[in-house]
Every structure is written in structure tokens, then in C-alpha cells.
Amino acid sequence: MRETSLEQLNSATRAEFVAALADIFEHSPWVPEAAAAERPFATLAQLYEHLKAALLRAGEDRQLAVVTAHPDLAGKAARAGTLTPQSTAEQASAGLDQLSEPEYAAFHRCNEAYKARFGFPFIICVRRHTKDSILQALERRTKSDAATERAAALTEILRIVALRLDQRVRAPDRLAVHGRLSTHVLDNLSGRPGEGIALELFELSRAGERRLIARAVTNDDGRTDAPLIAGRPIPTGVYELRFAIGDFYARTKEALADPPFLDVVPIRFSVAEPEGHYHVPLLCTPWSYTTYRGS
């Protein structure tokens, strides 16, 4: 699935190397070019560190050029379909390609305010965020000062770069850009894992919308066969897990209240560390449950 390998990058000509990574920094092939001479790289992490160093040792002007090479989030270019393929996919990951008119207007207004204040576009690593958390960051950061925001822009660019690299290059290692969301159901009635329990994961927005992210059924260890989210950052935001324990107990136990005291159990929680491991288990009986951030 990944287009190239670290080995290929190491043995490629300089031109091939630059071409393979030309769009890792938005419209800025000079960054990989500046790192090409450092080859070979033993690990993907090493490649990343050299790209990072190349950006950071360039002067402020060239850094600013990278910053301004980025498109507006949910901006005109996005609407016109003139973004790079990477940017298009990234913006879609947070649903920025499907904004309502009022949302589009809000983004436009905030983007303009940010640019008016700092002279460069607002940059954020979209894959680590939800629509809500992007808009919130945009509002918060618009009140910041120029030095802080220049630093913030570089930090976010490096996060974008790390994710792009991790998706592009096969290597013995992976970059630390992945979060993980998992669950586990323990049935305290039987002292055994809760097997065959249907569950759904929703992303919730402030506006009251609910987006289905994953759907699964617990296996005989009370877990889902695959983590609910893995191999990518978990967007900062609010989630709700819903466990259909009423159906489970209706199958395994005769005499329940009608309707059962607990049927669909919702657990609402927020993610603040997109690269963190969030384990959100449920210990339950027909009359009680416990949840917690596990490990």
C-alpha cells in the first residue's frame, strides 16, 4: 500500500529522492532536497529527523514560504478542487469538505481574521482534529502573538509531514503518530468476558450531530477483533460508545425487568491526546456498570 520504501529512497538518485518526497512539505521540494545528502537513513525516524532539521535550519523567510504555501482550511481552493491530493484527503478526514453554508462562512471569517492578524494562513494538522476542535483552535490561536503562531505553524507542519511520511514510506519502524482506541466488556454476572455485544462508536459535535465511526461486536474475549481506531491519530473531540447490553442479557439470562433497567449504555468521553492509547472498558451487570480510562 505504501508507495515507496526506505531502501528505495536510500538507493535512489538525488532527483528521484526529491521527486518521491516532493509533496511531503506542501509545495516545498527544497526541504527533501536539503536532506538528500544525509542518506542513507537507517530508520524512518531518522529520515523524519533530517527533514525536520532541514526545515528548522533554513532561515525564517524560507520557513514562512512553506507556511504560506498551505491552503486555507475549508477555503476557496478546497471548494474549487485545486488542493494537492494530500490536502484534499486530509481536509476530508475531518469532514471539512462537507460543511454547511453557515459552517463554511464561520471558517471563512475565522481564516480571514487569522490571516489579517498574522499575514499567513492558519495551519493545523487536520488528521489530529475534528471540525469542532479545529474551529476552537482557530479561535484560540487568533488571539495569540506572532512569534507563538510562527512556532505553532512549524509544529503543525512537522506533524503533517510525519503523518504523510508514515503513510508514504515502507520502513522497519513507524513514526509515533498513531493513537489507539479500544474497549473490553466484562460481564460481572458470570465473571466472564461479555461476548457478542454489539457496540457503536460515534463522534459527537457541539452542534449535536453524531457521526458513526465504527461498529463492532465483542468476541469471546469481550474485545473487538480490531481496535476501534488504530494506525492513525484519534481526532481531538468528543466520542460516544454505545453498548447494547440489554440484548446481551436478554439472550443469556431469563428474568429481566421489562423494559430492562439498562439497555443501550452510552459512554461519552473526550480525546485530548491524538497519539494516546484510550482503552475504555465496560464492567457490567443488568443493574450496574463501571467504566474508566484503562491501559
Provide the binding-site residues for a copy of itself, judged by CB under 8 A: 184, 186, 188-193, 221-222, 236-238, 240, 257-266, 268-270, 272-273, 283, 285-295
**Shortest separation between residue 287's beta carbon and a copy of itself, angstroms:** 3
Q: State how beta strands 210-217 and 264-271 pair.
A: unpaired
Three cell numbers, residue 213: 465511526
**Shortest separation between residue 272's beta carbon and a copy of itself, angstroms:** 4
**Shortest separation between residue 58's beta carbon and a copy of itself, angstroms:** 32
User: Which residue lies nearer to a copy of itself by CB, 167 or 285?
Assistant: 285
By C-alpha distance, which of 264, 185, 190, 263 is closest to 219? Answer: 185
Residue where the block lists cell 504523510: 164
**Shortest separation between residue 93's beta carbon and a copy of itself, angstroms:** 19
**Shortest separation between residue 283's beta carbon and a copy of itself, angstroms:** 6
User: Which residue lies nearer to a copy of itself by CB, 67 or 241?
Assistant: 241
User: Which residue lies nearer to a copy of itself by CB, 189 or 213?
Assistant: 189
User: Which residue lies nearer to a copy of itself by CB, 28 or 236?
Assistant: 236
In whole angstroms, give the CA distance from residue 261 to residue 280. Answer: 22
In whole angstroms, give the CA distance from residue 260 to residue 255. Answer: 10
Phi, psi of 41 (to 5 degrees): -105, 130
* Phi/psi-derived region of residue 27, left when phi > 0, alpha when psi is between -120 and 50, beta in every other case: left
User: Which residue lies nearer to a copy of itself by CB, 83 or 181?
Assistant: 181
The DSSP annotation for 58-126 comes to S-HHHHHHHHHTSPPTT-HHHHHT-S-HHHHHHHHHTTGGG--HHHHHHHHHHHHHHHHHHSS-----G
User: Which residue lies nearer to a copy of itself by CB, 70 or 223?
Assistant: 223
**Shortest separation between residue 267's beta carbon and a copy of itself, angstroms:** 8
In whole angstroms, give the CA distance from residue 174 to residue 236. Answer: 21
**Shortest separation between residue 253's beta carbon and a copy of itself, angstroms:** 10
DSSP state of 54: H
Three cell numbers, residue 280: 475504555
In whole angstroms, give the CA distance from residue 265 to residue 284. Answer: 10
User: Which residue lies nearer to a copy of itself by CB, 63 or 236?
Assistant: 236
